[in-house]
Amino acid sequence: MTAGTTQVGIVGAGPAGLTLARLLGARGIESVVLESRSRDHCEHRIRAGVLEQGAVDLLRAVGAGERLGREGIVHHGVSLQFAGGRHRIPLSELTGGAAITIYGQTEVVKDLIRLRVEAGDPLLFEAEDVALHDIEGDRPRITYRHDGRERELRCDIVAGCDGFHGVSRASIPAGVLRVSERDYPFGWLGILADVAPSSEELVYAHHERGFALLSLRSPTLSRLYVQVAHDEDIGEWPDERIWAELQTRLGLPGWTLAEGPILEKGVTGMRSFVAAPMQFGSLYLAGDAAHIVPPTGAKGLNLAIADVELLGEAVAAWYERGDRSGLDGYTEACLRRVWRAEHFSWWMTSMLHRLPGGDPFDVELQLAQLRYVVSSPAAATTLAENYVGIAGRRA
């Protein structure tokens, strides 16, 4: 057994873990990041792509703003489509100038990994059998295997940034966590296509055959989704069927959806999930390890970054001034924003998807709500404030 020590042991090299590592490094706090997958795997997982201004600001502050500034695409509006019409929600006009930036989570992760590696700070890929020990006290340990060797890392604090299926949340003793969750009886089939996006801004479409979303990754790459069953077999979806369904759900007279080679496709289930408290002893959970939102509000990545902004500050206050208040109040501070995003994501999801087993009453309620959102400045502002993230920051 090879033993090592650090100040903060970070489990998981997703946006949460990598951003936290940068935040801590900027304050002179040492960390070791342990990631179970390979670097190649982490850098090629296709995930979300909408950043709130607060997330962009934080990534800039930790030095990860250079390519983001060059390649990120700033959007000032999104559209809702239903009943044969497309309606723009002018996000910036409604929020005193706030905007969103389109930049793939995959790119955020690549940038953060490169920074960490260039700085020569410890980031271990393919760390196997990561296990947490003694987290109830103030001398936690993390054991793992790397390069065929059993290792132990002693630290002051463990940051559980290992996503929904990680080991961190599962290390908290039974009975401590309260879980609130909702499963949705549908999923999204997503594609990345080598074709210029047919709309400059995102289009969220309500359609009798189910939800569809037009998004993008760059001026030459489209990202599109259609609502499918939660356990949909991707094998049932040859490319022609995907395009035909997208054409039907997103089509409008006088507008065509351009098609191109599909580079990647996959199905994701949808779920809302919150585990509280987000801390136990010297373990602090951040991002998907503690909470999941359905993707309809584009909040997952932003919540992960917002959590570690708080956690980084709390850890720094403790090391620099012995002030534990940020650490002690971490759960409460995070959960206010988390629940705002949980509500928003659930609301967008419920308003836009075809509900299996739903009846005409459900559909009329959705359409009434959609008409209200696009016709009332008050209702549109509610959507806009949540979408750009200022509602969450105020929560």
Assess whether 204 carries a catalytic annotation: yes
Amino acid at 20: L
Cα angle 206-209-213, degrees, rounded to a multiple of 5 = 45
> Is 263 strand, coil or helix?
strand
Which two structure tokens, joined as six digits, stand for 308? 């570690």
132, 134, 130, 131: which is closest to 281 by C-alpha? 134
* Residue from 39, 46, 47, 347 binding ligand APR (CB under 6 A): 47
Q: Is 349 exposed, middle or buried (0-12, 13-18, 19+ CB in 10 A)?
A: buried
Which two structure tokens, joined as six digits, stand for 224? 């599109």
**Residue 230: count of CB within 10 angstroms of its CB:** 17
Considering only residues 153 through 212, tell me which ones interact with ligand APR, judged by CB under 6 A: 161-163, 165-167
167 binds, among ligand PHB, ligand APR, none (CB under 5 to 8 A by kind): ligand APR
Check residue 48 for interaction with ligand PHB (CB under 6 A): yes
What binding mask, one character per residue, do residues 182-221 give for ligand PHB by CB under 6 A, x or -?
--------------------x------------x------
Question: Residue 298, CB half-sphere, CA atoms under 13 Å: how many?
Answer: 28
Assess whether 299 carries a catalytic annotation: yes
Cα angle 42-56-30, degrees, rounded to a multiple of 5 = 60
Check residue 11 for interaction with ligand APR (CB under 6 A): yes
**CA of 129: how far to CAs of 144, 145, 372, in Å?**
5, 6, 51
Report the residue number, 46 or 74, with the smaller CB distance to ligand APR: 46
Check residue 352 for interaction with ligand PHB (CB under 6 A): no
Instruction: Report the alpha-carbon distance of residue 330 to residue 271 in Å, rounded.
Output: 24
Considering only residues 284 through 323, tell me which ones interact with ligand PHB, judged by CB under 6 A: 295-296, 298
Report the residue number, 159 or 202, with the smaller CB distance to ligand PHB: 202
Min dist CB 252 to ligand PHB, Å, is 19
Considering only residues 303 through 362, tell me which ones interact with ligand APR, judged by CB under 6 A: 304
Considering only residues 91 through 150, tell me which ones interact with ligand PHB, judged by CB under 6 A: none
Interaction site with ligand PHB (CB under 6 A):
48-50, 202, 215, 223, 295-296, 298
Q: Give catalytic residues, as residue numbers.
A: 75, 204, 295, 299, 387
Interaction site with ligand APR (CB under 6 A):
11-17, 34-37, 42, 47-48, 105, 127, 130, 161-163, 165-167, 287-289, 300-301, 304
